[in-house]
């Protein structure tokens, strides 16, 4: 399965080569495939804020490369480069608030810097750390895809209808995806009759990115309005809702794209299983519950306009872009360290002590 999955890897969103960071501009997909080049930490932070790159793991990986770019400039400028690099740490950390992978990746970079030995080249060390963050996310995707697929097969071995939300694929990660990785593996294993992709208003990650990724790979996909999800659960024989996560707290609560919470409520009502797929870098053991997660609010313009054209009445728009699904609505959290069924504080703590599988 691992080899089949690797062979199916077609799309990448982040490319680090010869000291240059290239990002596929996700604001323009699927109409245009444009790569943008980044040479400074501040520009990478802006790319994250503007959602040129998005998705929790992809944001973390991009921030790590952004820090490498920052270190290069600070070292070249001479003086107290470590002190100056603090500005790059903060500009990157301020780019988006909800996905913990961003802070996790920056912490890893900081810790590596703190372990720097005499004679080591700081730039080489930081670059190696960023590449390792990127590579290990790719590996985690493979492990989670296999575990999630086995979980689906355990409950029902026939082709089935799955529903997903937002974009959790190659565009959102360093590999081929978290929730979408599981869906890809399930498709390769003959377990997928059809994937229902929520359009994911207002930014349309589902309509523009998930539908594009799945259609490119020949996975049968239907796009639906977010508001159609409950109806589809009642009428289309959906067996699993499978989503990613931006932050999972110590008690198993999950922050993910706005609309995930209502999907979990509807899934519980209809007896549809609910799976969250996320690497352990998305788990924030420092926060007790989802109530503590900062929820990003984006501009009302994302709701008031369509394709840059005003469509809504002249009113104030409220645009929280993430919500929190309580742990008791979740059947399983799939990570590269293993699966936690019916998550709670004790099970999450146990999981975090484990090594990654494979
Ligand atoms: O605002 P976005 O597009 O960055 O939000 C992305 C999501 O909510 C994803 O579901 C989540 O990051 C998991 S991606 C593997």
CATH, residue 184:
3.40.50.10470
Residue 115 and residue 159 share a domain: no
Report whether pLDDT(353) > 70: yes
Residue 17 and residue 96 share a domain: yes
Contact indicator for 242, 178 with CB cutoff of 8 Å: no
Question: How much is the pLDDT for 358?
Answer: 64
Rounded to the nearest whole angstrom, what is the distance from the C-alpha of residue 114 to the centroid of ligand 1?
30
d(CA 163, CA 232): 9
Residue 170 and residue 123 share a domain: no
Residue 129 and residue 179 share a domain: no
175 lines ligand 1 (CB under 6 A): no
Rounded to the nearest whole angstrom, what is the distance from the C-alpha of residue 355 to the centroid of ligand 1?
25
Residue 168 inside a domain? The answer is yes
d(CA 120, CA 112): 11
Residue 342 inside a domain? The answer is yes
Domain that holds residue 34: 2-135
Q: Which of 108, 135, 162 is the last residue of a domain?
A: 135
- pLDDT tens digits, residue range 88-126? 999 999 999 999 999 999 999 999 999 999 999 999 999
How many separate domains does the chain show? 2
Report whether pLDDT(13) > 70: yes
> What CATH number did the domain enclosing 61 receive?
1.20.120.420
Both structure tokens of 94: 């301020």
Question: How much is the pLDDT for 294?
Answer: 98
246 given a catalytic annotation: yes
Question: How much is the pLDDT for 246?
Answer: 98
205 lines ligand 1 (CB under 6 A): yes
Lowest mean pLDDT among 1-5, 129-133, 226-230, 314-318: 1-5
Closest ligand 1 atom to 180 CA: 15
Any idea what the Cα angle at residue 270 is, between residues 265 and 276, rounded to 5°?
Answer: 55
Residue 70 inside a domain? The answer is yes
Within 8 A by CB and 6+ apart from 236, the residues are 161, 194, 196
Q: How far is CA 236 from CA 262, 272, 328, in A?
A: 18, 11, 25
Residue 182 and residue 71 share a domain: no
Which residue in the block uniquely carries the two structure tokens 């930081």? Answer: 126
Question: How much is the pLDDT for 128?
Answer: 98
**Band of residue 8 on the pLDDT scale cut at 50, 70, 90:** confident
- pLDDT tens digits, residue range 20-69? 999 999 999 999 999 999 999 999 999 999 999 999 999 999 999 999 99
**Band of residue 318 on the pLDDT scale cut at 50, 70, 90:** very high
d(CA 153, CA 163): 16
Residue 240 and residue 103 share a domain: no
Angle of helix 122-155 relative to helix 179-188, nearest 10 degrees, comes to 50
Annotated active-site residue in 88, 137, 198, 246: 246
Both structure tokens of 329: 């609505």
d(CA 142, CA 150): 13
Residue 306 and residue 277 share a domain: yes
Rounded to the nearest whole angstrom, what is the distance from the C-alpha of residue 205 to the centroid of ligand 1?
8
**Band of residue 144 on the pLDDT scale cut at 50, 70, 90:** very high
Residue 253 and residue 155 share a domain: yes
Residue 357 inside a domain? The answer is no
Residue 165 and residue 294 share a domain: yes
Residue 227 and residue 196 share a domain: yes
User: Best mutation site among 47, 180, 246, 324 for ligand 1, i.e. most ligand atoms within 8 A of its Cβ?
Assistant: 246
Residue 358 inside a domain? The answer is no
| Residue 299 DSSP symbol | -
């Amino acid at each position: 399965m691992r080899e089949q999955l690797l062979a199916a890897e077609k799309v990448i969103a982040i490319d680090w080569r010869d000291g240059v960071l290239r990002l596929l501009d996700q604001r323009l997909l699927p109409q245009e495939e444009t790569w943008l080049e980044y040479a400074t930490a501040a520009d990478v932070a802006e790319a994250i804020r503007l959602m040129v790159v998005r998705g929790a793991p992809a944001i973390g990986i991009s921030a790590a490369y952004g820090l490498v770019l920052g270190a290069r400039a600070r070292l070249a400028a001479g003086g107290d480069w470590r002190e100056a690099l603090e500005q790059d740490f903060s500009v990157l950390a301020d780019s988006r608030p909800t996905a913990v992978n961003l802070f996790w990746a920056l912490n890893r970079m900081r810790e590596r810097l703190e372990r720097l030995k005499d004679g080591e080249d700081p730039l080489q060390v930081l670059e190696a750390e960023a590449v390792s963050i990127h590579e290990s996310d790719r590996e985690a995707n493979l492990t989670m895809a296999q575990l999630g697929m086995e979980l689906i097969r355990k409950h029902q071995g026939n082709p089935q209808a799955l529903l997903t939300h937002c974009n959790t694929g190659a565009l959102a990660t360093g590999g081929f995806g978290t929730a979408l990785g599981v869906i890809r593996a399930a498709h390769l294993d003959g377990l997928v009759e059809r994937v229902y992709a929520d359009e994911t208003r207002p930014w349309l990650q589902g309509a523009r990115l998930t539908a594009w990724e799945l259609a490119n790979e020949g996975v049968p996909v239907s796009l639906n309005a977010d508001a159609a999800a409950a109806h589809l659960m009642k009428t289309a024989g959906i067996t699993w809702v499978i989503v990613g996560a931006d932050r999972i707290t110590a008690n198993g609560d999950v922050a993910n794209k706005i609309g995930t919470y209502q999907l979990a409520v509807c899934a519980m009502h209809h007896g549809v299983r609910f799976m969250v797929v996320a690497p352990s870098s998305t788990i924030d053991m420092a926060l007790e519950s989802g109530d503590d997660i900062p929820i990003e609010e984006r501009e009302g313009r994302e709701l008031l306009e369509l394709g840059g054209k005003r469509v809504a009445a002249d009113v104030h728009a409220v645009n929280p872009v993430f919500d929190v699904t309580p742990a008791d609505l979740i059947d399983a959290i799939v990570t590269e360290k293993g699966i936690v069924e019916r998550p709670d504080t004790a099970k999450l703590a146990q999981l975090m002590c484990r090594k990654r599988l494979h």
